């Protein structure tokens, strides 16, 4: 039996998939699906905070998403800016701290400024950390760590033989955060798509069929219940101390 404190995941990460299909189903332009993806974020955030989840990471824009049609990319960037402005008071009231992970170098000045403002404005939040993965690529994140460690080794500041998992964890964009316990991807797709590949090594994966704009409190609670029923072993054989990995 798992102990009670393991029943609520400390960190939930979500791949919010299916916005385009939802929009098409409702006779809308694909990009409008993303606008309808905001309300589920509000609901999940409120529910997560209420139930004691401490970190909520949302995959809002992958590095690959730059390849989408220009009007969709523009709509998403406008949405980020609009939400950063409009949601700030509510996020602060709820004790939410926002942290953005991703490349950032391709953002317009406006997007970079709004996201920094959101991070700064919410920095005193202690109840829940909302991590927005924007222009995020897990492989790029890992490559950047390798570059940084190589630079340190070349400068004589780090012995290559001493490099261990902790060095990597400490140099990732997620430094200081616990690994996700539960990764949810909506819309029935069962892939990680370059999301938190290092961090999700031991995460439970959950793939509801529902499209993201239709994801609500009921679906989120169902995901947490499924998580609570799973027996996490972290590579250990149950009831023994033998490591099988």
Q: Let me know: does 19 contact 37? Beta carbons within 8 Å.
A: yes
Token pair in block for residue 134: 């924007």
Q: How far is the CB of 97 from ligand FPP (least distance, A)?
A: 15
Q: Let me know: does 98 contact 55? Beta carbons within 8 Å.
A: no
Token pair in block for residue 8: 């609520």
Examine residue 37 and tell whether it contacts ligand FPP (CB under 6 A). Answer: yes
What order of strands is seen across the sheet that includes strand 55-62? 96-101, 128-136, 55-62, 11-15, 182-185, 204-206
Our CB check for ligand FPP shows the closer of 21 and 230 to be: 21
Alpha carbons 156 and 151: distance in angstroms, whole number: 9
Examine residue 65 and tell whether it contacts ligand FPP (CB under 6 A). Answer: yes
Our CB check for ligand FPP shows the closer of 163 and 210 to be: 210
From 9, 18, 125, 180, residue interacting with ligand FPP (rule: CB under 6 A)? 18
Return the range that interacts with ligand FPP (CB under 6 A); candidates 18-26, 101-109, 137-145, 147-155.
Answer: 18-26
Q: How far is the CB of 106 from ligand FPP (least distance, A)?
A: 15
**Is 103 among the catalytic positions?**
no
Q: Let me know: does 39 contact 215? Beta carbons within 8 Å.
A: no
Alpha carbons 223 and 207: distance in angstroms, whole number: 9
Q: How far is the CB of 187 from ligand FPP (least distance, A)?
A: 6
Q: Let me know: does 66 contact 36? Beta carbons within 8 Å.
A: no
Alpha carbons 94 and 88: distance in angstroms, whole number: 10
Examine residue 58 and tell whether it contacts ligand FPP (CB under 6 A). Answer: yes
Question: Which residues on neighbouring strands pair with residue 131, listed in sequence order?
Answer: 57, 99
Q: Is the dihedral of CA 40, 41, 44, 45 positive or negative?
A: negative
Q: How far is the CB of 36 from ligand FPP (least distance, A)?
A: 8
Examine residue 34 and tell whether it contacts ligand FPP (CB under 6 A). Answer: yes
Q: How far is the CB of 4 from ligand FPP (least distance, A)?
A: 31
Q: How far is the CB of 96 from ligand FPP (least distance, A)?
A: 12
Return the range that interacts with ligand FPP (CB under 6 A); candidates 12-20, 146-154, 174-182, 234-242.
Answer: 12-20
Examine residue 102 and tell whether it contacts ligand FPP (CB under 6 A). Answer: no
# residues near ligand FPP by CB under 6 A:
17
Binding to ligand FPP, residues 74-93 (CB under 6 A): 79-80, 83
Of 160, 38, 153, 173, the C-alpha closest to 101 is 173
Our CB check for ligand FPP shows the closer of 134 and 203 to be: 134
Question: Left (φ > 0), alpha (ψ -120 to 50) or beta: where does 104 sit?
Answer: left
Task: Enumerate the active-site residues.
Answer: 17, 65
Binding site for ligand FPP (CB under 6 A): 16-21, 33-34, 37, 58, 60, 65, 79-80, 83, 132, 187
């Amino acid at each position: 039996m798992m102990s009670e404190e393991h029943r609520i995941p400390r960190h939930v990460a979500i791949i919010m998939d299916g916005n385009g299909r939802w929009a098409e189903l409702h006779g809308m332009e694909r990009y409008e699906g993303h606008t309808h993806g905001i309300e589920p974020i509000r609901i999940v955030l409120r529910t997560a905070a209420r139930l004691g989840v401490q970190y909520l990471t949302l995959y809002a824009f992958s590095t690959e998403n730059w390849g989408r049609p220009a009007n969709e990319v523009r709509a998403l960037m406008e949405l980020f800016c609009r939400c950063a402005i409009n949601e700030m008071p509510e996020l602060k009231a709820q004790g939410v701290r926002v942290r953005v992970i991703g490349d950032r170098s391709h953002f317009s000045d406006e997007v970079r400024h709004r996201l920094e403002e959101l991070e700064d404005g919410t920095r005193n939040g202690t109840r829940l950390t909302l991590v927005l993965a924007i222009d995020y690529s897990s492989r790029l994140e890992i490559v950047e760590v390798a570059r940084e460690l190589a630079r340190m080794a070349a400068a004589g500041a780090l012995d290559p033989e001493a490099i261990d998992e902790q060095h990597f964890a400490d140099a990732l964009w997620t430094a200081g955060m616990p690994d996700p316990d539960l990764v949810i991807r909506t819309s029935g797709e069962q892939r990680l798509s370059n999301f938190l590949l290092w961090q999700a090594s031991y995460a439970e994966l959950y793939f509801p069929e529902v499209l993201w704009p239709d994801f609500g409190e009921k679906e989120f609670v169902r995901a947490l219940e499924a998580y609570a029923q799973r027996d996490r072993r972290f590579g250990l054989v149950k009831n023994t101390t033998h490591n099988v990995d």
